[in-house]
Homo-oligomer: A and B are copies of this chain.
Amino acid sequence: MRSISIDTNTLLTRHADVGIVGAGLAGLMAARELAAAGVSVCVLEARDRVGGRTWTRPTSDGTLLDVGGQWIGPTQQRMNRLVAELGIETFKTWDIGENVQYRGGERHTYSGAIPTTDPLVAGDVMEALLTLNMMAMRVPLETPWTASDAAVWDSQTFATWIDANVSAPGARTLLELAIQAVFSAEPRDLSLLHVLFYIRSAGGLMDLLGVTGGAQETRFITGAQTVANRLADALGDRVVLGARVHTIIQDDAGAQIISDTLVLSCARVIVALPPTLAGRLHYRPALPGLRDQLTQRMPMGTVYKVQCIYPKPFWRDAALTGQASSDTGAVRITFDNSPSDGSRGVLLGFVEGDEGRVFGQRSPQERRAAVLECFVRYFGAQAGQPLDYVEQSWAEEEYTRGCYAGYMPPGVWTMYGAALRAPIGRIHWAGTETATHWNGYMDGAVQSGERVAAEILAALEIHPTSRV
């Protein structure tokens, strides 16, 4: 064994009242709220960009594509308010025309929310949705595990619930599709209680699933990352990119956040990461077992977001919305994702849950071909000749490790729910997974940032007067 000096490890040091890990919407909103109250903040971000699960990238021809989260809905009050405050321009998702349904090898078109080629199936689905909505309204958002039926609901998967409550195979398929679309996971992965919590958190199932009137209603002209970019711009050098945090130390005197490039000393820490990633940091002292075991139990969903760019949105000429739902192939959900001016056509598809998990085993060529095969099946031969094909796998992203969000398998809410937001000493937890309203969405991230900022202002005994 020889001893050599491999690195003179000169790290920058910096001080702030509050150090924030992660410059997604949650971390940036917390920074904004705290800065507005006169608290000094510093946000450390591992990537060379802000925005977390929102990420807007130009294609080769300059078309802006959201490869991450991209929509907001009318009941997402925090996002709507924030977007208005920041003066960010939005537009409505293209939703004019008929939708495509592909089932059992056949293609149909239909209007409205639920495919109606088989009225019996539609009836079964409607009944299931109404039942789930009613059950969901009995889940307390702050403490889902205190619902009167929580023990029963958290002991079973959503697959078990479908099995026991939905008989028509076509209706089962549609419900599975809905779960995949909302969670990028399978019905068997999810606790029934978590599904019900999530429904209530959004207001109802149609709020989650809908375009006009729902969570997919509104887009950003310059892309969804614009929100994070604007927040970061206002924070200026309080946001430090390329600083991968690996260690958080706290003691009676304060806290230190140690990244590859910078050591931040502070009085309070906000970890604004998905729980599974928060669990990968090194804490001194080590975290309590309950908190640590929570982070072992909230896996991220699995999705490839795939997009094809065309000279124009040709499906609009055929009076189609660009929305398809399918029981076959890699892509089972599509949307019209063209830029607001219609200067290009963009078809967006999601490869979710099990399909997303196996998709990465194929070669890039095979993946592209599989996506085009689906798009052609839903929208005709023109869909087979895109100008460009863009895919984004969030499970591969080292600093996200899955989308859309972390979810609860059976039993986790019941035994670990109380550890989700509870601060540990100087450390506070943010991120959309900690939200009570629109959990898993941008709006939930904003709520979590506001909540954690309020927690810290209370802890620091600062009473903001200019903002509520």
Contact = CB atoms under 8 A, between A and B. Distances in A.
Interface of A: 1-14, 154-157, 159-160, 163, 185-189, 246, 263, 276, 279-280, 282, 286, 288-290, 292-293, 296-300, 302, 354, 357-358, 360-361, 393, 395-396, 398, 401-402, 409-411, 414-416
A127 B5 CA distance: 66
Of A1, A3, A12, most buried by chain B (CB within 10 Å of CB) is A1
A21 to B, nearest CB: 15
Given A156-B160, A395-B290, A9 B12 contact: no
A77 to B, nearest CB: 31
A451 to B, nearest CB: 23
A186 B416 CA distance: 13
Given A288-B360, A300-B296, A411 B189 contact: yes
B289 A393 contact: yes
26 contacts: A1-B12, A1-B13, A2-B12, A3-B12, A4-B10, A5-B8, A6-B11, A6-B13, A7-B9, A8-B9, A155-B157, A155-B159, A155-B163, A157-B411, A185-B411, A189-B411, A288-B396, A289-B393, A289-B401, A289-B402, A290-B357, A290-B361, A293-B357, A296-B296, A296-B402, A358-B415
Given A3-B12, A296-B300, 4 more contacts: A5-B8, A289-B302, A292-B395, A296-B298
Contact of A8 (B8, B154, B282, B415): B8
A156 B157 contact: yes
Nearest to A279: B280
A302 B6 CA distance: 40
Top 5 nearest A-B pairs (CB, nearest first) are: A289-B395, A155-B188, A296-B299, A286-B398, A409-B409
A396 B289 contact: yes
Contact of A293 (B11, B14, B280, B395): B395
Contact of A410 (B276, B302, B409): B409
Contacts of A163: 155
A305 to B, nearest CB: 13
A401 B292 contact: yes
A297 B361 CA distance: 19
A6 B3 contact: no
A289 B276 CA distance: 14
A293 B282 CA distance: 19
Contact of A299 (B2, B286, B297, B360): B297
A188 B289 contact: no
Nearest to A260: B282
A103 to B, nearest CB: 20
Nearest to A5: B10
Nearest to A298: B296
Contacts of A280: 279-280
A279 B163 CA distance: 33
Contacts of A155: 157, 159-160, 163, 187-188
Nearest to A283: B398
A156 B160 CA distance: 6
Contacts of A10: 3-6
A55 B386 CA distance: 61
Contacts of A409: 189, 297, 409-410
A351 to B, nearest CB: 12
A402 B160 CA distance: 28
A13 B411 CA distance: 45
Nearest to A285: B398
Nearest to A2: B13
Contacts of A401: 289, 292-293, 296
Contacts of A289: 302, 360, 393, 395-396, 401-402
Nearest to A415: B357
Contacts of A279: 280
A146 B300 CA distance: 24
A206 to B, nearest CB: 26
